[in-house]
Amino acid sequence: MAIRRAQTLLCLSKFKTNFVFGSLHRLFSSSSQNSNQFQNVGFIGLGNMGSRMVNNLVKAGYKVTVHDINRDVMKMFTEMGVSARETPYQVAQDSEVVITMLPSSSHVMDVYTGTNGLLLGENAIRPALLIDSSTIDPQTTRKISLAVSNCNLKEKRASFCSSCQQVEIIQFSIVSSIIDAGNWEKPVMLDAPVSGGVLAAEAGTLTFMVGGPKDAYVAARPILQSMGRTSIYCGGSGNGSAAKICNNLAMAVSMLGTSEALALGQSLGISASTLTEVLNTSSGRCWSSDAYNPVPGVMKGVPSSRDYNGGFASKLMAKDLNLAAASAEEVGHKSPLISKAQEIYKKMCEEGHETKDFSCVFRHFYNGKDEV
């Protein structure tokens, strides 16, 4: 009898567990595909990346309000039917979510905490979710995130996902804890820098590296998916910024190594096309050789094929290497390759190549030749 009772209880337990998680899976799957959770999105920073990200938000059906210090670009968007505001604070008043895409840490700090910033009147702000997609240092990210967490919401949001309210009919503690975690008591900030460059921003195929509370990341995913193909949760506040800095360090070093190898090959009598074929079918293969080749004439559709115009400017790479160096110094990490890459890209900028794509080191530092 005791054995039969235990078997019955076990079966019932399995049924309940499957019912709960099956129900949750269906509800959260449907809600993750529903971009109606947030409809009013503010966007600040309409440069080469931001302007294209806004276009994809509009295509996805979001009601977008924009701001930029460049009035001409704001006018371009208003002529497309997109609302524009004079200050970040005004954008915040119209938005449930605000995304920033700005050049540097100081710009982000000013937009959040400066005169007419997003956190003006910080006792109560309207946006429940603030997403910074700028490439800045993790320390600044964490300072701003703390400032955001000290604010209150003008209007408390009941839940990260409206359909989650349906789960209340399931009387299990695990469900209750999920619903409680979804309550918007305070505004939340995510750091979500991107990789992929202008072409990926245009195509909506960016990769987002996200730091911050995981439940906020889940809530933000439909918005991120409208602008990118991939989003990766990296952990707590500042970890998205840390991931981006490390990614760009690896990108700089691999570009320098690829450029040096291709230029050396030319000096040794091997054509860049031939050596590229060798690299891309051997252990030397990397993104810089097979997707973003630095030798003019080897690959179509990349900056090297258009005199290094467009793409990722050398001055931005220099900035990101400075961020990596500062972060490494703060944690006492030895990084000799950061120092060498910094030196090279600083030289590129000083010699007048700051607006050229960072792959121009092949021509202007290593004196590599165009492929005929």
CA distances from 217 to 151, 160, 214, 233, 237 (A): 19, 10, 5, 7, 11
The DSSP bridge pattern shows strands 228-235 and 206-211 to be parallel
User: Which long-range CB contacts under 8 A does 139-143 form with residues at least 24 apart?
Assistant: 139/238, 139/327, 139/330, 140/105, 140/108, 140/109, 140/241, 141/191, 141/211, 141/237, 141/238, 141/240, 141/241, 142/237, 142/238, 143/109
In whole angstroms, give the CA distance from residue 110 to residue 119.
Answer: 10
Instruction: Judge contact between 183 and 158, C-beta under 8 A.
Output: yes
Q: How far is CA 111 from the centre of its chain?
A: 18
Question: Does 244 qualify as catalytic in the annotation?
Answer: yes
Tokens encoding 112 = 């959040």
Three-state secondary structure string covering 198-212: HHHHHHCCEEEEEEC
Q: Given 59, 244, 300, 334, which residue is catalytic?
A: 244
Tokens encoding 18 = 């499957």
DSSP letter string, 118-130? TTTTTTSBS-SEE
The residue with tokens 């810089």 is 288
Tokens encoding 203 = 């195509």
In whole angstroms, give the CA distance from residue 14 to residue 19.
Answer: 8
Tokens encoding 290 = 């097979």
CA distances from 151 to 113, 121, 131, 215, 234 (A): 12, 9, 15, 18, 24
Annotated active-site positions, please? 244
